[in-house]
Structures are given as C-alpha cells and as structure tokens.
Amino acid sequence: MKGILKSMMVTASTFARKPVTREYPEGHRELPERDRAFPLLLWDQDIDEPFCTGCHACERACPVECMTVIMKDNPNHTSNDGPSKRRKIIDKFYIDYARCMRCNICVEVCNFEAIAMNNTWQGHETSVYDRSDLVMDLPQLLAQSKAKQIEEWVAE
Amino acid sequence: MTTDDGGNDAVEEAPEPPDTFEDTIWPDVNRTLTAVDVRPERSVLDLIVHIPKADVVRGLGMLKNDEALQFNYLRSLTAVDNEADGVDVVYHLYSVPNKFNLTVKTTLPNDDKVLDTATPVWQAANWLERETAEMFGVTFTGHPDPRPLLMPEDVDMSDTHPLLKSHPYAEIDILQGELLGHDRDADEGD
Amino acid sequence: MSTEIFGIEDVNVWVDGLIRVLLIVGFMTVVVMGLIYGERKILARFQQRLGPTRTGPIGLLQSVADALKLVGKEDLRPRNADPWTFELAPYLVFIPVFLGFVIVPFVLDWQIRILELGLLYFVAVSGVNIVGWIMAGWGSDNRYAMIGGMRAAAQGISYELPLVLSLLAVAMVVEVPAPVIDGAASVASDSEYVRGSLNLNEIVAAQHEVPNLVWQPLVMIVFIIAALAELNRTPFDIPVGESEVVGGPFVEYSGIRWSMFFLAEYAALLIMALVFAAVFLGGWAWPFGIWMDDAPPRWAQALAVAAKAGAFIFLVFWIRASVPRLRIDQLMSFSWKVLLPLMLVQVLVNGLVLVYDWPLIILTVVGLAGVVALAAIVDRAVRHPRPRPAVAAQLQGEAAS
Amino acid sequence: MVVDAPTPSEAGDFETQDLLINVGPQHPSTHGVFRMVLEIDGEVVKDLVPYIGYLHRGAEKLCENFDFRQGIGYMDRTEYLAAHNAELSYVMAVEALAEIEVPERAQWIRMILCELNRISSHFMFLGAFGVDVGVFGTPFIYAWREREAVIDLFEEISGDRMMYAYFRPGGLAWEVPVNFEERVREVLASSRQGVKDFDGLLTENEIFIARTKNVGVISAEDAIEIGMSGPSLRASGVPLDLRKTEPYMYYDQLEFEPITAEGGDVFDRYLVRLKEISQSIDLIEQCLERLEAGPIMAEKMPRMLRLPEGEAYMRTEAPRGEYGIYMVSKGGNKPHRVKVRSACLSNLQALKQMSVGQYVADAIIILGSIDIVLSEVDR
C-alpha cells in the first residue's frame, strides 16, 4: 500500500506542476538556427539570380536520388553584358520532398553555398493532398530565399 | 584505431614475413582445433580463422567447449557474397569469461551453398541463420525452423536472395519534374 | 392513481414517472459528458498535459463534439458476429446502470423512488450488466473480445461479493429511528433507535452526526477496491486492458453502440460515487457541525452530495493516473483470498455489535486493524511472490529444450 | 488459474482446443509492426511464434550502394531511437578500416551525445513499458517530457530531432553550438528529475512489483546462449557492457561499473535501465569535465573517402545492447558488404523462452521489457 500511495504522491506532484504541452498550431516553438527541414535554393540578392550553377554535385551526392538538376548558359553573364560572373546557371531544379531524407549531404557538397536546409517552420509544414505536389520546382525552391524569409545556416 | 581489446586480439603491426600470430589467441585456437584444417588471418580488429566448410560446425563446437577459450557467445552470423569466389559465411564469436574475440570464416562454392547448422552450438544462431539463408541462399542443414525470417510469408520467394550481388537494386525512376531522365552513369566515381 | 412531485399534488403516476425518468436521463447524460471531459482534463493535469483545449473555451465542448462524431459514425457489425447477441449487448449494459439511479438519494426528500430495500435493489441491478459484457464478448466473434468478456465475467462475479458484503456490513449496524415513516426518515433525535436498514435514505440520515467512514474504515476501503473492479477501472481494467486485449468486449463496436458502452461506464461510475457518498460519507449532510440542528437547505444538500461524489470520482481518476494494471490471477486471488475473508470477519464483528449492542467504537478499532492487516497482506504478497504454477514451469521447460 | 484441460474422455463429447490469438502487427503493445501468434489455454501462453520482417527495408543492401557518408543517414533509420549510437558503430567501422585518427574533442562530444541518446532511449523504454504494464499514459508523458528535452538539444546541435546524420568518418559534421555545455547540464538536471519521477511512480508500487517480479525470467546461461546483450543481458547478472569490456573511444578513462541485477526478470530489466539513466548522467558529467577545445575533424580527410581492402566488425554498446557493424571493403568508395548486428533481433529470440508458461498479460510486458525497436530488428 505504501508504494501505491507513493505513486499517487508523484502524480499529485506533477498535478501541481506547469503543463509541458506546446500548443502547436497556435504557438510555434522557436526553431534553432541549425534546424533541418527540407533543402531549398538560395537567391543571390546582389546580382538578383540564384547562387546555383547547376553543377550536379548535390544531385550526385544525394543518397535517395531525389534531385534533378539542369543547367543552362547564364544570360546575365558578363559576356552577355550582365553583372554576373556565373558562366552557367540553373535552368530547372526539382527536389522531391517526399523522397528527401534530410541528410544535409547536398548542403555539404555544394561549392557555391547555393543550397541550404530550410530552418523555418514553413519548411516543416508542407502537407499536401497529392504526393506529386511535393516535387518542388525552381521557383518554389527559391521563393523563400528570394523574399528574404530565411536566414540560412550552413556549416563552415 | 581507438579500440583496445585488452591485448588479446590482433593488433596492427608491421607484417613480418612468417607471421606466427604469437601475440594473438591463435596458439590457443590452433591447439583447440587440432584435427581441423585452419588458416589464420589478421584483420583490423579481430583474428580471423578460416575453417573448411565440412569442419566448421565441429570446429565451432570445439571453440565453444574448450576450457581455455570458452567462446560461449555468438555475436553475429552472416555471409558475404564474393561473387565468383563463392559465399563466405562469417561467425563472430566472443568469450564472455575471457573477453576474447574471434571471427570464423568458411567459404562455400556458388554451386553448393549448403552448410551444417550452428544451432546445436548456440541457440543464437537460429534466427541469424534463417536470415542468412533467405538473404544469400545458403541452406543450413538440420536447422530446427527453416522458415524465412524477414521475407514475406505469403509469397514464395525461395529463389530470391536479395543480398547476393547478382540481385539488382530496385530501379528507382527519376520522377522529378517533367519525368526528366538523364545519364547518371557518367558521374560515377567522381 | 395520483402522486406528488416537487410539491405539486395529484399528478398522474404515469406523468410523474415520465417526468422522473426524463429528468434522470437528461441529468445523467449531461453529468456523464461532464465526467468524460473532467476525466480528460484531470488525467491530463496528472500527466502534466493540458487535455482538450480545441473545442470551445478550454475545450468544454469536447464531449459534445465526441458525442456528435460517435452518433454520426457508421454502425458496423462484423460479418461473422452473432446479430442478436451483438446488437442487444449494449442495452444489457446500459439499462441496468440506469435502473440503479432509482434509489440514489440526491437530496433529503427527492429521489426517483425511496425503496425500503434500496441497497439490495442496487446490488441486484448492477450485477446484471455482466451478462451484457459476456454477450458483447461472445457476439463479436473476436478473440480479444471473447477473452475480454470472459475476464469481465470472472472479475464482475468475484468482486460482487466483497461489494455486497461491504454494503451489508454497513447496512446491518446503521442506527435508524425505530418507527420508520414513509418517505424521508425523520431527523428527530428523541425517538428510539434500532440497528439495520437497507433504505439508503435512512442510512444517510443516520450519518447526520458521524459519517460511516469513521466506524467502518476497512469496509470503506474494500468498497472502493470492489467498486473499482466493478467499474473496470484501473488497476482492475483487465477486461478492457488497452495494452493486452485492445478494448476487450468493445473491440468490434463502433459509433452509437460503442458510445452506449462508454456512457454506461461513466454512468456506473457516477452512480457508484453517489452510493459511496450516501453510504460512507453521509450523503447530503454537512460535516463538522454545520447545519447540525436542522436539515441544510436544498442547494447545500445538493452541493454536499456533489462534493462527496466528486471526491470519489477524483480519487478514481487519480488512481487511474498512478497505478498499473493487475493480472487476472492476481485479481482473482486478491478478491477471494484477501478481500472476502477480511469482509467476512468484519461482517462477523458487525454481527456481534448488532446482537450484543456494543458501542460502535469497537467497529472503528476492528476496522483500523483490518486496514493494517490488508496493507500487511499486500506487502507480504509483494515480498514473497507466489512460485509459478507447475504447468507453467513445465511449459517453459519444453520451450527451452 | 491454471487448470488442466479435461481430456476428451472425461469431458464426454466435448473436446478442448487451445485458442490462437494473433497479436500484431497492429496492436497497441507490439512497439511497431511486430506480430506474434499466441497459443493460449485460458490465460496461459502455451506457445508463441514471433513473426518479424514487416519493416524490412534492405538497409544492408542499400549501404552497399552508398558511399561512406551516404550510409550514415541510413544507419539513423535502422535504429531511430538511438541514432547517434547507430551512426557511431558505422563511422567507427569506417575509421578502423581507413585507420583514421579522430581528434579528442570529437571523441568526447561523440561520447556525450551517445550517452544522451541512451538517456532518451531508456526514457522511451520506461514510458512504453509503463503503458504496457497498464498505467494509463502517465509514464508515457513523463518519458516524453524528458526525451523532448534531450531531443531539443540534439536539434540545436545537429539540426534534426531523430535522424541526426551528425557523425562523420573522422569526426563530426560541424562544431557544437557555443552554449553546448550549459545546455547539456540543463538537460541532465531535467533528466534527473525524470528519473526521480519514474522511481517514485513505479519502482516501489506494489502492483508494479507484483506484475513484474518473477515474470519472464531468463538465466544468465540461457541469455548468453541466445546471444542477448545490453540491459536485457545485464539484468540476468552478466556484466557484459562493451563500454567496460572492450572500451572504445575514451570509456576507459571514465569511472563506472556496468549495472547488473540478479533476477533476470522483467522487474530487473526495468531497474537496470532506470539505473543506467543515472549512470549515463554521471558519465556525461565526467565527459564534460574532460572536454577541451580542439579540432573536430581528422586532418587531411579526402573529399571522397576510399577504404583499403579489409574487414572490421565494429561493435558499440547501444541502449539496447550490442550494435555491431560488420563492414567488408574491397577497396573503392563503397563498402562491399555492411552487416548490421542488431541487438534487438538477438534479444527478441529469447521472447518465446521467456513467455511460454506465463499469462497473456505477462507476454505483453515481457515483450515490452526487451525494449525492441522494430526498425532495428528488421533493418
């Protein structure tokens, strides 16, 4: 009987404590800067074009083959009287978020710091009704960075 | 290398021409496996002993019951597909009282992947052998419960041995975007 | 024929009956919904959670939402289920619980019917729902359900005995005025007393000064234990044990039928709490000498009953949050080998008190000794666990070889 | 009550038959997609046939196609409740084969993270086990509370809550945050409170003791024979803790003794795990004292790691027992074969022996007491 009473005292003590519930949809916990949701592409605000040159490094390193990259000649390149030093630039970029396993390898292999893991809640809340809607195309991948909604964290 | 095996196991050192394995437990193992044709080999962590397939279970029993060794714990049992060189069945043994480690290997030719079961020696071999059998197509004769372990029960997959090198990876279609396909093989080995 | 309700004379008996039944059904449904909400909130706090917060302010409408969802669900019946047993079972669980409300004294002079044999009636009808449990378990054609139903039957029958004996122990020594007036018992103190009554109202009235829990501590504890078992509440939720038989007899039920089981479960909890308040805590009487000289006003009576029943219900929730589930063999042996002998001794002592007219303080002493004995027995059983049955050892030997 | 079933001749025309019940793969207490078929006589289990493989994803085959960095992410998924420990075996196998010297700071941080992961995993066990025994939700929420604190810390360090992918051959992926030590100490303080709560809630509870003592007993000899490891083995009295018997990283510099119990029953398995949480808290504090600034990655790591030919069976003490990686390399940037030695698979083999002859309710808590993670069993 003593042990049962002791158990009941423990539950009584938690009764008096503050609940630990986080009321999720209303209150978002502040995410740490290193938080990894899904990868997205970064926008070079100085030149107004993506950082990504479509070099396929991330595509090759991806363990689950969730990326598709196609490059093109950069119309903004200095040879075309543009401001950019990038000879090639990304044309099409698809990431299948449904297949991505968020391993961060694409970020690590990127030579141009053009890809980063989304560390905002927007990156986590990606529910859709159709699985194919999770295949993100280039504008979608760039949107957050273009709108300066993200402060990316990339390990040095 | 950060592991220290109490000085009992193989330690890396410069190979001297006739390796006597004096610093390992090989002398004890060799003494125990008197009537068995064995060959030692060093690996990074543990001593490897190669035993021919006909003697392997007998040898394992000797290793377990020997007073000085007492390999009473079967850590792991698996196989390695060496393609043309057949399939290696690998036993990782451990001696709880003596803290010895030993790897026992036996090679099965590709056309005769049959081996005696080690379940009489250690019960632990039961499920591990079932897994090895279905994954590599090795038949363990005398196994008390030769059903598949991880493979589906409702489909006959007795000819499918996924961990053999001849078994293909699942082909994943590159579905992203507008069903774009392109040559990835060129990227291999970068 | 005519009768009187709420001071209105000459009401047709049928109208009167209808009013009372509707009142009780309405009251019960509302209270049960509140109970479900309360349980979720209270359990949540015991577990440092918030509980329901989404529907309505602080989740107050959660039970309403649940009820609407359950009513709207499809009423499924497994193809192999026995149609009659399967579909009748909820009623057999549901109706006896409602019948129990007939005798509950909510306030001094109002209840559905004052029965001279109220307690007997209560234990009689509350035993019927075991049939419903077995029917649900058998009719579902599900093995979990069947195991659950069997467990429920075994448990219900075993714990009926301690429950009945505990109520009997109280009823046999309770002091009631000798001339029993029809209706509410008089609170007058100058009439002669006799001992023994099954009339709940008289039992409550007899506790005007000292509640029975003072005289009968062991009986009260045994009643709580047996009530938990009868209600299938932790630690005796073996028939419905989520982690073992995934809901027991209810596993195949859905929608409205399932909600009937649910409703019955909470209604049973409510009625058990009201009976507990009436039998052990003095019902509508106020403690510590408040309103000692005359009966408290009606609102105060209702408040007292609600508080006392609420305390019991809170205790049940608290226990649910704190203790694990017993095993079926431990449950059975606890009832038959511990509770039943203890209660028989208690009834014997009560009988002696009754026959020789000893002072009631003897009961308190014996009861406290019984509580100590109960704790000691439990402690000893824990320190010296029973060896496993021979059959089990043999089976294990076979498995090992 | 165990009553011998009447034989057909005694019972007239009736025959008795044992009841088969199918527990799982969808059952609240099978901790994932595990299935067992119980043959019961009344409430007594007469036979038990386990079925696994519902979560088999071919991790070993996939690893043969991954380079050594890609494989790490997959190791997380074989053991999702203690992913740091799973990664550890993998990267240590690679390091052993490639003969990479890992910097000191990286080792200490690895040890801290692995012990923290042990804490979170054991809390998870306590919660799930408490629910199996029948406390309605309370232990689960307590466990979740403490695990959440640990996981939040992991998220601050590695960026992910479960699939960390933080260890790399040669060290760590990146440096820990600046307030690392302070945060670890905060988490430890909270875990201490959690241990206290569990201790009060369950350890002395008479019903809990009645349910778990002398249930699912396995002797030390049988446990070794079956190949059990980890807390389940130590509960039978075998002090086999790889951190002590074959110290890896810097465990030989720490002061601790493997926690064992004598009975080998469900209660002991619970108690060993509860004590191991306290032990891990103590170990982490020792690690924090020895943690110094320094590099976190081995020098001269190539961009694409290639291993020489060879093989290594690297084993570490994960929360559930010995998590081993047997890696065979034939040169090149991909392993020839990766075998995951799962502690849960070996421990689960003992389930039948422990459960037969017990009651149905006992079989459930015995399964809970082994603390299986089905993703590790099936891989």
Instruction: Give CA torsion, residues D335, D341, D344, D348, to 10 deg.
Output: 130
Interface of A with B in 12-71 (CB under 8 A): 56, 60, 65-68, 70
C-alpha Rg value of chain A to the nearest Å: 22
pLDDT at res. D117: 92
Q: Is residue B18 a part of any domain in this protein?
A: no
Cβ contact, residue pair D359, C327, below 8 Å: yes
Tell whether the model's pLDDT for residue A21 goes beyond 60. Answer: yes
3-state helix/strand/coil string of C89-151: HHHHHHHHHHHHHHHCCCECCECCCCCCCHHHHHHHHHCCHHHHHHHHHHHCCCHHHHHHHHH
Cβ contact, residue pair A104, D165, below 8 Å: yes
Tell whether the model's pLDDT for residue C188 goes beyond 50. Answer: no
Which residues of chain A are within 8 Å of residue D83 when distances are taken between CB atoms?
none
Average pLDDT over residues C170-194: 61
User: C63-121 pLDDT, tens per residue?
Assistant: 888 888 888 888 888 888 888 888 888 888 888 888 888 887 777 666 777 777 888 88
pLDDT at res. B116: 87
Which residues of chain C are within 8 Å of residue A23 when distances are taken between CB atoms?
50, 53
Task: Give the confidence band of B186 by pLDDT, cuts at 50, 70, 90.
Answer: very low
Inter-residue contact C231 to C240 (CB < 8 Å): no
Q: Is residue A109 a part of any domain in this protein?
A: yes
Q: Which residue shows structure tokens 């090679």? A: B107
Q: What percent of chain B has pLDDT over 90?
A: 0
Cβ contact, residue pair D200, A7, below 8 Å: yes
Cβ contact, residue pair A68, B177, below 8 Å: yes
Tell whether the model's pLDDT for residue C189 goes beyond 80. Answer: no
Tell whether the model's pLDDT for residue B182 goes beyond 70. Answer: no
The interface pTM score, or ipTM, of the predicted complex is: 0.84
Average pLDDT over residues C278-296: 75
Strand partners of residue A115: A41
Task: Give the confidence band of B10 by pLDDT, cuts at 50, 70, 90.
Answer: very low
Average pLDDT over residues A142-152: 82
Determine which of A136-150, C106-120, D215-229, D292-306 has the lowest per-residue pLDDT on average. Answer: C106-120
C-alpha Rg value of chain B to the nearest Å: 20
Nearest CA in chain A to B187: A60
User: D126-143 pLDDT, tens per residue?
Assistant: 988 888 888 888 888 888
Nearest CA in chain D to C148: D43
Task: Give the confidence band of D277 by pLDDT, cuts at 50, 70, 90.
Answer: very high
Tell whether the model's pLDDT for residue B11 goes beyond 50. Answer: no
| Mutation target among A22, A104, A154 for the D interface, most CBs of D within 10 A | A104
CATH number of the structural domain spanning residue B95: 3.30.460.80
Task: Give the confidence band of A134 by pLDDT, cuts at 50, 70, 90.
Answer: confident
Determine which of A62-66, C21-25, C112-116, C154-158 has the lowest per-residue pLDDT on average. Answer: C112-116
Single-letter amino acid, residue D252: D
Whether residue D34 lies within 8 A of chain C, CB to CB, comes out as no
Rounded-to-5 percentages of helix, strand, coil across chain B: 20, 20, 55
Contacts of C125 (CB under 8 A, 6+ apart): C96, C99, C100
pLDDT at res. C187: 47
Nearest CB partner across the interface for C324, out of D133, D358, D360:
D133
pLDDT at res. D122: 92
Tell whether the model's pLDDT for residue C268 goes beyond 80. Answer: yes
pLDDT at res. C286: 77
Cβ contact, residue pair A35, D155, below 8 Å: yes
Tell whether the model's pLDDT for residue C181 goes beyond 70. Answer: no
Q: Which domain holds residue D246?
A: 59-353+362-371
Cβ contact, residue pair A35, D159, below 8 Å: yes
Tell whether the model's pLDDT for residue D35 goes beyond 60. Answer: yes
Q: Is residue B142 a part of any domain in this protein?
A: yes
Which residues of chain C are within 8 Å of residue A2 when distances are taken between CB atoms?
375, 379
Task: Give the confidence band of D119 by pLDDT, cuts at 50, 70, 90.
Answer: very high
pLDDT at res. C260: 86
Task: Give the confidence band of B1 by pLDDT, cuts at 50, 70, 90.
Answer: very low
Tell whether the model's pLDDT for residue A89 goes beyond 80. Answer: yes
**By a Cβ cutoff of 8 Å, what residues of chain A touch chain D?**
1-4, 6-7, 9-11, 14, 20, 31-32, 34-36, 61, 63, 101-105, 108, 117, 119, 153, 155-156
Tell whether the model's pLDDT for residue D264 goes beyond 70. Answer: yes
Task: Give the confidence band of D355 by pLDDT, cuts at 50, 70, 90.
Answer: confident
Which residues of chain B are within 8 Å of residue A94 when distances are taken between CB atoms?
176-177, 180
Q: Is residue D52 a part of any domain in this protein?
A: no
Cβ contact, residue pair A63, D66, below 8 Å: yes
Which alpha helices (H) appear in chain A, and where do they start and end? 2-16, 57-61, 105-109, 121-124, 138-146
Which residues of chain D are within 8 Å of residue C398 when distances are taken between CB atoms?
356
Count of the separate structural domains present in chain D? 1
Count of the separate structural domains present in chain A? 1
Phi and psi at residue C204, in whole multiples of 5°?
Answer: -65, -45
Task: Give the confidence band of B9 by pLDDT, cuts at 50, 70, 90.
Answer: very low
Inter-residue contact C62 to C101 (CB < 8 Å): no
Nearest CB partner across the interface for D310, out of B44, B74, B123:
B44
User: D136-188 pLDDT, tens per residue?
Assistant: 888 888 888 899 899 999 998 888 888 888 888 888 888 888 888 899 999 99
Q: Chains meeting B at 3+ CB pairs closer than 8 A?
A: A, D
Q: Which domain holds residue A59?
A: 2-146
Cβ contact, residue pair B187, A96, below 8 Å: no
Which residues of chain A are within 8 Å of residue B169 when distances are taken between CB atoms?
none
Q: Chains meeting C at 3+ CB pairs closer than 8 A?
A: A, D
Taking the CA of residue B162 and the nearest CA in chain A, the distance in Å comes to: 19
Q: Which domain holds residue B178?
A: 26-187
Whether residue D204 lies within 8 A of chain C, CB to CB, comes out as no
Rounded to the nearest integer, the mean pLDDT of chain D is 86
Whether residue A96 lies within 8 A of chain B, CB to CB, comes out as yes
CATH number of the structural domain spanning residue D74: 1.10.645.10
Cβ contact, residue pair D341, B76, below 8 Å: yes
CATH number of the structural domain spanning residue A129: 3.30.70.3270
User: C121-146 pLDDT, tens per residue?
Assistant: 888 888 888 888 888 888 888 888 88
Phi and psi at residue C147, in whole multiples of 5°?
Answer: -60, -45
pLDDT at res. C393: 65
pLDDT at res. B189: 40
Determine which of A66-80, C175-189, D302-316 has the lowest per-residue pLDDT on average. Answer: C175-189
Task: Give the confidence band of D4 by pLDDT, cuts at 50, 70, 90.
Answer: low
Nearest CB partner across the interface for B187, out of A56, A67, A94:
A56
Strand partners of residue C3: C11
Inter-residue contact C83 to C77 (CB < 8 Å): yes
Which residues of chain A are within 8 Å of residue D204 when distances are taken between CB atoms?
2-3, 6-7
Tell whether the model's pLDDT for residue D9 goes beyond 60. Answer: no
pLDDT at res. D13: 66
Task: Give the confidence band of D278 by pLDDT, cuts at 50, 70, 90.
Answer: very high
> Which of D21, D20, D59 has its CA nearest to residue D373?
D59
Determine which of C146-155, D8-17, D270-279, D290-299 has the lowest per-residue pLDDT on average. Answer: D8-17
Q: Is residue B165 a part of any domain in this protein?
A: yes
Average pLDDT over residues D333-343: 89
Tell whether the model's pLDDT for residue C235 goes beyond 70. Answer: yes
Rounded to the nearest integer, the mean pLDDT of chain A is 84
Single-letter amino acid, residue D118: R
Cβ contact, residue pair B167, D52, below 8 Å: no
Tell whether the model's pLDDT for residue C401 goes beyond 60. Answer: no
pLDDT at res. A104: 86
Which residues of chain C are within 8 Å of residue A21 when distances are taken between CB atoms?
48-50
Q: What percent of chain A has pLDDT over 90?
A: 0
Which residues of chain A are within 8 Å of residue B184 when distances are taken between CB atoms?
60
Whether residue A137 lies within 8 A of chain B, CB to CB, comes out as yes
How far, in Å, CA of C121 to CA of D320, rounded? 56
pLDDT at res. C388: 65
Determine which of A133-137, B152-156, C345-349 has the lowest per-residue pLDDT on average. Answer: B152-156
Cβ contact, residue pair C374, A1, below 8 Å: yes
How far, in Å, CA of C36 to CA of C70, rounded? 14
Taking the CA of residue A83 and the nearest CA in chain B, the distance in Å comes to: 29
Buried b (16+ CB within 10 A) or exposed e, D327-352: bbbbeebbbbbbbbbbbbbbbbbbbb
Single-letter amino acid, residue B171: E
Cβ contact, residue pair D208, A3, below 8 Å: yes
Cβ contact, residue pair A135, B187, below 8 Å: no
Cis-peptide into C235, omega within 30 deg:
yes
Tell whether the model's pLDDT for residue B172 goes beyond 70. Answer: no
